[in-house]
């Protein structure tokens, strides 16, 4: 417990300097640190106690002998665990920031734990443990004596089982090959994701009305949204903003920020932010005057505004805006028929009616009106123009001019505006300009240099985000030639994380192998350690599939941890077997003895 406490303090100190600090990640780090750092102390105490029980040595002499046997194993375990996590620190991007936090905290905690196990723990053993007679554990009465005798029989049974396996090594090598194949099969069947959804305690509602809708219509829709949201028992408050949304700015856009009650008041899964967003989406879809999308914030706010995927449809062939809009609508139609994705929506402002002013250049030139004067007149009347400041009651007030609203409501009002020619005379716009209504883009988006359309959506219930990304890629493949796509935000990081996963595992295993080869000056010992990794990975995959979890960043960090822990258990056995072989025992005899002697600490640390 002393080791766990001190290593936890080290972990908290390094976590404060970490680049990313989600609450779930910090909690996971603390759990990993507390679980791993006590292993070294357990190995030391168990070996000291075993020597005292078997040989009857006093605590001080037993501690000295135990440390002579176990120091090499502790150093080997520390090197393996540190070498497993070090490659995590060299990946870039948002995923690399998460990896780097795990690497920094785990390496610092593991190193400090090894120092404590080699210094403080032996001192505590020599000071606090009481002497005992040889075989005293088995002579105890009651539950403890029964447990020790039973455990000893299990250890000898395990030794006998290993002996039978060694007699049929070729047959069990085939079984090992089958296990490796099963591991590969299960890994390819795992659903993929980036990070699990988290209840952030708040929710966003994106509101988009048809093009040209006025502020009054938007306000009426927001009042309906507010009336529904505030009736929900999970909601504490709501703030609405008119004229702005994640899609863009305009009178037909609005955004609402919903604050939920404290988590302790929302104990059920049906009261989470994700559940409320899904329930609100179904209820608010009945408002026919607007597209309303309740959104749950992503686990990392810097990677987007909502959970789900963010897709960019690109016009790489120069087909034009009309073709790009048609391709987007085709993709939206295909997505509506898919069972894998849901809430697929264009993330932008739709084309809207616009008043176009056509200027007859020859007439304007003949009247002496410059384009600069025309632009100044239109921008001042329809927008505004700053003139100067004037003092009023001890303060400077701004003078801003703009055409009054009734004077700019109709196309004819625009043509009645006067501009100044090069002789200083007023010339009405009607003398050289005409107006007409057209449909034009309210916003234009480019992504990586190509005209693009923003599309967002979510995975349907029962499907992972990785399945949703694969489905969107499949649907995008059905579009006409000349159109491509890119991922951005959290979706891009998910694709990068998936592509880096195998590189990450490969570097971790390679680092373990090279460190052990340098430590033991042997190629066979590291190979024997590495061969146990697939067995630990198999357990991880089976548990993940049974629980329905996804292959996300936390899974990858957990798998890296399992690689280190599996190698740690192998080192405890191999280190003792190597020492027994050096004392003159045969390979098989040394291996069987080490298996029996290390069975208890392996079970305890596991």
Residue-wise pLDDT for 483-497, tens only, equals: 999 999 888 888 888
Residue 68, classified by CB atoms within 10 Å of its CB into exposed (0-12), middle (13-18) or buried (19+), is exposed
b/e per residue, 98-135, with b = 16+ CB within 10 A?
bbbbbbbbbbbbbbbbbbbbbeebbebbbeebeebeee
pLDDT > 70 fraction of the chain, expressed in percent and rounded? 94
Q: What are phi and psi of 119, to 5 degrees?
A: -125, -65
- Residues 278-328 pLDDT 10s: 899 889 988 888 888 888 888 777 666 777 889 999 999 999 988 999 999
Residue whose token pair is 């055409």: 403
DSSP element (H, E) containing 95? helix 93-118
Mean pLDDT of the chain, nearest integer = 85
Q: What is the pLDDT of residue 450?
A: 94
Residue 242: HSE in the Cβ half-sphere, 13 Å Cα cutoff = 15
Write the burial class of residue 427 (CB in 10 Å: 0-12 exposed, 13-18 middle, 19+ buried).
Answer: buried
Mean pLDDT of all residues in 408-424? 90
* Inter-residue long-range contacts of 361-369, CB under 8 Å, 24+ positions, other chains counted: 363/431, 363/432, 364/432, 364/433, 367/421, 367/427, 367/431, 367/432, 368/421, 368/422, 368/423, 368/427, 369/419, 369/420, 369/421, 369/422, 369/427, 369/432
276: nearest Cα among 297, 290, 305, 291: 297
Q: Which helix (H) or strand (E) holds 437?
A: strand 433-440
Buried b (16+ CB within 10 A) or exposed e, 244-267: ebbbbebbbbbbbebebeeeeebe
> Is the pLDDT score of 6 beyond 70?
no
Residue ranges in 337-401 assigned as alpha helix (H): 361-366, 371-378
Three-class DSSP labels, 18-77: CCCCCHHHHHHHHHHHHHHHHHHHHHHHHHHHHHHHHHCCCHHHHHHHHHHHHHHHHHHH
The answer on pLDDT for 368 being more than 80 is: yes
pLDDT above 50: residue 21? no
Pairing of the two strands 418-420 and 395-401? unpaired
In this predicted structure, the answer to whether residue 425 has a pLDDT above a threshold of 80 is yes
Whether residue 20 has pLDDT greater than 60: no
Indicate whether 359 pLDDT > 90: yes
Of 606, 580, 604, 605, the closest CA to residue 592 belongs to: 580
CA distances from 33 to 3, 105, 303, 342, 538 (A): 10, 8, 28, 39, 23
> Does residue 23 have a pLDDT over 70?
no
Q: What is the pLDDT of residue 7?
A: 47
- What average pLDDT score do residues 349-363 get? 88
Structural domains of the chain in order of their starting residue, each with its CATH number: 2-131+147-189+495-605 (1.20.1640.10), 202-321+337-351+456-494 (3.30.70.1430), 352-440 (3.30.2090.10)
CA distance 33 to 46: 20
Determine the average pLDDT of the residues in 333-352.
Answer: 88
CA neighbor of 351 nearest in space, from 235, 239, 254, 250: 250
CB-CB contact of 250 with 207 (8 Å):
no
| Strands of the 248-260 sheet, one edge to the other | 235-245, 248-260, 202-208, 291-295
pLDDT of 533 strictly over 80? yes
Above 80 in pLDDT, residue 158? yes
d(CA 443, CA 248): 8
Provide the pLDDT confidence category of residue 554 given band limits of 50, 70 and 90: confident
Q: Report residue 242: phi and psi, to 5°.
A: -95, 145
pLDDT over 80 (residue 335): yes
More confident: 177 or 54: 177
Q: Which of 276, 277, 305, 290 is nearest to 223 (CA)?
A: 290
Q: Which residues contact 545 (CB under 8 A, 6 or more apart)?
A: 186, 189, 190
pLDDT computed for residue 5 by the predictor: 47
Confidence tier at 9 by pLDDT (50, 70, 90):
very low
Is the pLDDT at 480 greater than 80? The verdict is: yes
- Per cent of the chain over pLDDT 90 is 26
The Cα angle at residue 591 between residues 590 and 594, in degrees rounded to 5: 85
Average pLDDT score over residue span 418-429: 91
Q: Which residues pair with 88 in a beta bridge?
A: none
Out of 116-120, 153-157, 331-335, 571-575, pick the least confident.
Answer: 571-575
Q: Is the pLDDT of residue 592 over 90?
A: no
Distance CA 111, CA 116 (A): 9
Choice between 280 and 39, residue whose per-residue pLDDT is larger: 280
CA dist 38 and 110 (Å) reads 10
* pLDDT tops 80 at residue 526: yes
Most confident of 13-17, 87-91, 454-458: 454-458
Question: What DSSP character marks residue 128?
Answer: H
* pLDDT the model gives residue 587: 84
Cα–Cα distance, 159 to 592 (Å, whole number): 6
Q: Which helix (H) or strand (E) holds 501?
A: helix 489-520
Please name the residue ranges forming H helices in 189-232. Answer: 215-229
Q: What are phi and psi of 439, to 5 degrees?
A: -105, 120
pLDDT of residue 2: 47
Q: Would you say residue 432 has pLDDT above 70?
A: yes
Cα→Cα distances 13→115, 227, 538, Å:
17, 46, 34
Residue 174 has what pLDDT? 92
Displacement of CA 276 from its chain's centroid (Å): 22
**Residue 1: pLDDT over 60:** no
CB-based contacts of 175, cutoff 8 Å, min separation 6: none
Q: Identify the bridge partners of residue 204 per DSSP, sorted by sequence position.
A: 257, 295
Nearest alpha-carbon partner for 490 in 256, 89, 91, 196: 196
Q: How confident is the model at residue 18 (pLDDT cuts 50, 70, 90)?
A: very low
| Residue 235 three-state SS | strand
pLDDT winner (highest mean) among 199-213, 227-241, 554-568: 227-241
Tell whether the model's pLDDT for residue 395 goes beyond 60.
Answer: yes
* pLDDT of the residue at 451: 93
Overall pTM > 0.85: no
């Amino acid at each position: 417990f002393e080791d766990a406490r001190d290593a936890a303090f080290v972990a908290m100190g390094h976590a404060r300097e970490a680049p990313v600090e989600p609450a779930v990640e910090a909690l996971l780090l603390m759990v990993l640190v507390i679980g791993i750092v006590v292993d070294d102390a357990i190995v030391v105490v168990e070996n000291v106690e075993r020597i005292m029980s078997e040989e009857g040595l006093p605590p001080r002499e037993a501690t000295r002998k135990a440390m002579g046997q176990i120091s090499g194993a502790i150093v080997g375990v520390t090197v393996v665990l540190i070498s497993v996590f070090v490659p995590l620190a060299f990946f870039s991007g948002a995923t690399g920031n998460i990896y780097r936090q795990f690497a920094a905290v785990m390496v610092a905690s593991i190193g400090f734990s090894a120092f404590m196990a080699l210094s403080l723990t032996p001192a505590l053993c020599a000071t606090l443990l009481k002497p005992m007679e040889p075989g005293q554990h088995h002579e105890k009465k009651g539950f403890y004596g029964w447990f020790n005798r039973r455990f000893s029989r299990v250890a000898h049974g395990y030794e006998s089982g290993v002996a039978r396996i060694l007699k049929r090594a070729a047959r069990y090598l085939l079984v090992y090959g089958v296990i490796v194949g099963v591991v590969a099969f299960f890994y390819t069947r795992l659903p993929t994701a980036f990070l699990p959804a988290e209840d952030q305690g708040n929710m966003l509602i994106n509101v988009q009305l048809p093009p040209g809708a006025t502020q009054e219509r938007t306000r009426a829709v927001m009042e309906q949204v507010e009336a529904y949201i505030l009736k929900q028992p999970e909601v504490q408050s709501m703030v609405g903003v008119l004229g702005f949304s994640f899609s863009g700015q305009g009178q037909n856009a609005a955004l609402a920020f919903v604050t939920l009650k404290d988590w302790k008041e929302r104990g059920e899964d049906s009261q989470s932010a994700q559940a409320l967003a899904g329930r609100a989406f179904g209820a608010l879809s009945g408002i026919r005057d607007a597209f309303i999308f309740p959104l749950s914030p992503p686990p990392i706010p810097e990677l987007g505004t909502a959970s789900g995927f963010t897709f960019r449809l690109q016009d790489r062939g120069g087909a034009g805006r009309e073709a790009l809009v048609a391709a987007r609508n085709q993709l939206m139609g295909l997505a509506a028929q898919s069972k894998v994705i849901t809430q697929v929506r264009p993330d932008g402002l739709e084309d809207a009616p616009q008043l176009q002013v056509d200027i007859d250049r020859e007439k304007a030139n003949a009247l002496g009106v410059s384009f600069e004067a025309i632009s100044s007149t239109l921008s001042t009347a329809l927008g505004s123009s700053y003139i100067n400041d004037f003092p009023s009651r001890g303060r400077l007030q701004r003078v801003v001019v703009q055409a009054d609203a009734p004077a700019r409501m109709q196309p004819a009002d625009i043509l009645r505006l006067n501009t100044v020619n090069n002789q200083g005379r007023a010339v009405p716009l009607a003398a050289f300009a005409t107006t007409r209504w057209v449909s034009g883009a309210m916003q234009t988006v480019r992504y990586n240099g190509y005209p693009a359309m923003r599309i967002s959506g979510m995975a349907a219930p029962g499907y992972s985000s990785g399945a949703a990304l694969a489905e969107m890629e499949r649907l995008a493949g059905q579009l006409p030639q000349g159109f491509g796509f890119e991922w951005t935000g959290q979706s891009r990081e998910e694709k990068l994380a998936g592509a880096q996963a195998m590189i990450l595992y490969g570097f971790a295993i390679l680092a373990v192998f090279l460190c052990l080869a340098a430590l033991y000056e042997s190629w066979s010992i590291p190979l024997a350690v590495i061969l146990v990794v697939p067995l630990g990975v198999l357990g991880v995959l089976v548990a993940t599939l049974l629980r329905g979890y996804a292959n996300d960043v936390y899974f990858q960090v957990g798998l890296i941890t399992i690689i280190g822990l599996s190698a740690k258990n192998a080192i405890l056995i191999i280190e003792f077997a190597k020492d027994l072989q050096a004392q003159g025992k045969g390979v098989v005899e040394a291996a069987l003895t080490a298996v029996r002697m290390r069975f208890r600490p392996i079970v305890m640390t596991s």
